[in-house]
Amino acid sequence: MIGLKFDKTKCVDCKGVFCLTRCQYLQLDRDTARKEWQKIVDGEDSFVLEACTTCYACEEYCPFHNHPFYLIVERQEQKGILPAPRPIITMWINQCQPVGRFTVGKVDERMLSYCFLPHFNTLVKGKLFDDTAGAVVFGQEFFCNAVYLHYAHTSVITERLPQIVANIGKLGVRELICLHDECYGTFTSLAPAYGIEVPFKPVHYFEYLYNRLKGLGKTVKKLDVKAAYQRNCSSRLAPETDKLVDDIFSLIGVERVKREYDKENALCCAEIIRMGKGPALADDIQKRNIDDMVKAGAEYCVFNCPACWDALADKVARKGIKPVHIIDLCKLAIGEAQSLKLPELAVEV
């Protein structure tokens, strides 16, 4: 039976102290956090449901793995609270129906998932991906659906995700290399939280990249650069993958600069916040994040998520920091790219 595996008894002592008091967008003391979390657990109205920016972080903060963020999203949907404008939510629901637009490359036991992000078609080239060349799934039939967490529509996820999982399973895939945290988090956190069985092994592409770099041996050259890592919201669903960033950086000679807004304290790209809460909050979050990168002496801002790139690449470039996707950074280390082309800077008005 599909339904959220949430255990009220795990919240008896905590009552939101571990998740709500750590929220970077709500300034709550322990007493207020306990009171409001109990309301959420009981299905009552709470200002937290309106204020939530859907940054996913409380899912990582919960020491009991009790899925507080998924519960918040369920309560938002039950009460008709929309974290983003209705037309945008409707567009996403309609355009991503699993109704036939998809691509399947060479069918293999080990395949790459582009999910519904065409950006990867240009990124996934060269030596790093030689052993999976052409073994790709992409499109609506394989879209992970985690984005609906941002839009308070877990009902869409529980309706469609079983079919998505089945579509991948029918191909005979044993290992699915996920090129986006949202996919990996869907199959390792979201699906199990709702009792949806996943018949294949999800592999985060950080693990894949790390192993490929190790296999290339002396081909890998140390870059000797300092970088800030832009951790995206959906990485919160699989926080264990953050260590792989450090492992990759160590292999290719990149220093991850120490700064305030990194690791568990990371700030999201704020574009979902811009849609739901307005430009003032989003601009403030982005400014604090980028100023923090500058203060830490970052030469590069390393991206993992295409949406984060779209939101921040132009802005970090204006501050003299080179934006780079982690795949392209690895290509630099093996000599496949001599330099990185900065994004075309938009004209400010």
Which of 56, 78, 100 terminates a domain? The answer is 78
Looking at the fold, whether 244 and 164 belong to one and the same domain comes out as no
In-domain check, residue 340: no
Minimal CA–CA distance to 43: which of 72, 9, 67, 15?
72
Cβ neighbors of 143 (< 8 A, separation 6 or more) are: 96, 98, 115, 116, 164
pLDDT per residue as tens, the chain (349 positions) = 689 999 888 887 776 677 899 998 888 999 999 999 999 999 999 999 999 999 999 999 998 899 999 999 999 999 999 999 999 999 999 988 988 777 788 888 999 998 888 778 888 889 999 888 889 888 899 999 999 999 999 999 999 999 999 999 999 999 999 999 999 999 999 999 999 999 999 999 999 999 999 999 889 999 999 999 999 999 999 999 999 999 999 999 999 999 999 999 999 999 999 988 999 999 999 999 999 999 999 999 999 999 999 999 999 999 999 999 999 999 999 999 765 655 555 545 4
In-domain check, residue 247: yes
Looking at the fold, whether 124 and 189 belong to one and the same domain comes out as yes
Looking at the fold, whether 192 and 297 belong to one and the same domain comes out as no
Domain membership of residue 39 as a residue range: 8-78
In-domain check, residue 144: yes
In-domain check, residue 156: yes
Looking at the fold, whether 183 and 90 belong to one and the same domain comes out as yes
In-domain check, residue 2: no
In-domain check, residue 215: no
Residue 85 CB coordination number (10 Å): 12
Number of domains in the chain: 3
Does the pTM surpass 0.95? The reply is: no
Which of 169, 204, 239 terminates a domain? The answer is 204
Q: For residue 111, what is the domain's CATH number? A: 3.40.50
In-domain check, residue 295: yes
Looking at the fold, whether 46 and 113 belong to one and the same domain comes out as no
